[in-house]
Amino acid sequence: ELGEGTEWTGEKLETAIQNLEARLQEKPKDKPLKKAVRQLRKDLLPRLRKYEQYQKTLGSRNSFSKTDSDATFMRMKEDHMRNGQLKPGYNVQIGTENQFILAYSLHQRPTDTRCLEPHFKKVKQMLGKLPKTLIADAGYGSEENYAYLEKEQIQAVVKYSYHKEKSKAWRSQIGKIENWSYDEEQDAWTCKAGRTLHFRYESKERTESGYEIRKRHYRSVGCEDCPLKSSCTKAAGNREVTVSMEALRYRNRARELLRSEEGYALAVRRMIEPESVFGQLKNNRGFRRFLLRGLSKVTLEVGWLSLAHNLLKQATTDQKRKQAILQ
């Protein structure tokens, strides 16, 4: 009667139930129809409406808390049970300079990668401009973020998997494309065994925000008798690789900057900037969980916390300056 495989909404189901109820008035002794109407009205319709409300609350997220519908379940660093349990929370992003909080933003995403651009929009809203240089860890080192920083003309001192590349174990892995050589004219890669991987086709994919990633696909010829195949790949046939040339270009630029004296000096500052501020807030001042619920209220709470931190920081700086003058 309702149609198998049909996508039903609460409104459609309500209309269908009303039609069945009209038929039931014509045949009041139809027990199977009466039972079906009762199940639809008392059980299935309320559940469908509840699921629709849940879907509306979720939006683009994959979870929410029933005690705070704006909070998303995330894996916290503080895991006392040591079982990777999920807890409802918010992803707090801050921008600091000399350990003063210049801007902050809250996000409903558990990972940092997709928080960079919306955070910078909030920074521009608060300060009226964007910084000339960004120092961030590998959690922000995606192609989309590098492209955004390039568009905004911001120097990106942003790591990706840079720390892994410096290890001897990484450099000894012959299957890593980063350890191969690339011929730009031939558009081909040469592996450690000297085999050439030729270009086959290009594919496109879009991220959740709409950013387009172009990936180029390469394949080798005659890997069956290669003595290094077991160390290179587990595939039965020839080796295939997929590369985003834009991501490779951004990583090469980031690597060059991070290896320079200027880049190293800037990257070191990250450890004494936002990390120290979070340490002050969480460990020294004992702020480990929000007291309010709801994104708007929690945003205000972070604002008050940031203001208190800046005032205490300024008071400590002024006191040190006075003591230096007296001495």
Please tell me the least confidently modeled range out of 75-84, 177-186, 277-286. Answer: 75-84
Q: How far is CA 250 from CA 29, 149, 182, 201, 235, in A?
A: 73, 11, 16, 22, 29
Average pLDDT over residues 298-323: 95
Where do the domains of the chain lie?
A: 10-58, 73-163+263-317, 174-245
Is the pLDDT assigned to residue 326 strictly greater than 80?
Answer: yes
Q: Measure the CA–CA gap between 124 and 278, rounded to whole angstroms.
A: 22
Is the pLDDT assigned to residue 136 strictly greater than 70?
Answer: yes
114-125 residue pLDDT tens: 999 999 999 999
Helix (H, G, I), strand (E, B) or coil at 200: strand
- The token duo for 134 is 């960004």
Secondary structure E strands in 191-282: 196-206, 212-220, 240-243
148-199 residue pLDDT tens: 999 999 999 998 877 788 788 888 889 899 899 999 999 999 998 899 999 9
229-247 residue pLDDT tens: 888 888 888 899 999 999 9
Q: At what angle do helices 45-58 and 10-26 cross, to 10 degrees?
A: 170
Average pLDDT over residues 44-70: 93
Is the pLDDT assigned to residue 254 strictly greater than 90?
Answer: yes
The average confidence (pLDDT) of the chain is: 91
pLDDT score, position 270: 87
Q: Which CATH number fits domain 73-163+263-317: 2.60.130.10, 3.60.20.10, 3.30.420.10, 1.10.8.640?
A: 3.30.420.10
- The token duo for 78 is 């503080």
Is the pLDDT assigned to residue 224 strictly greater than 90?
Answer: no
Is the pLDDT assigned to residue 294 strictly greater than 60?
Answer: yes
Secondary structure E strands in the chain: 72-75, 86-89, 91-97, 100-107, 133-136, 155-158, 181-183, 188-190, 196-206, 212-220, 240-243
Under the banding of pLDDT at 50, 70 and 90, the label for residue 5 is low
What is the pairing mode between strands 188-190 and 181-183? Answer: antiparallel
Is the pLDDT assigned to residue 205 strictly greater than 80?
Answer: yes
Q: Which residue has the higher pLDDT, 6 or 72?
A: 72
Is the pLDDT assigned to residue 315 strictly greater than 80?
Answer: yes
Share of the chain above pLDDT 90, in %: 72
pLDDT score, position 2: 53
C-alpha 34 chain-centroid distance: 50
Q: Measure the CA–CA gap between 5 and 3, rounded to whole angstroms.
A: 6
Backbone φ and ψ for 114, nearest 5 degrees, come out as: -90, 5
Q: What is the pTM of this model?
A: 0.85
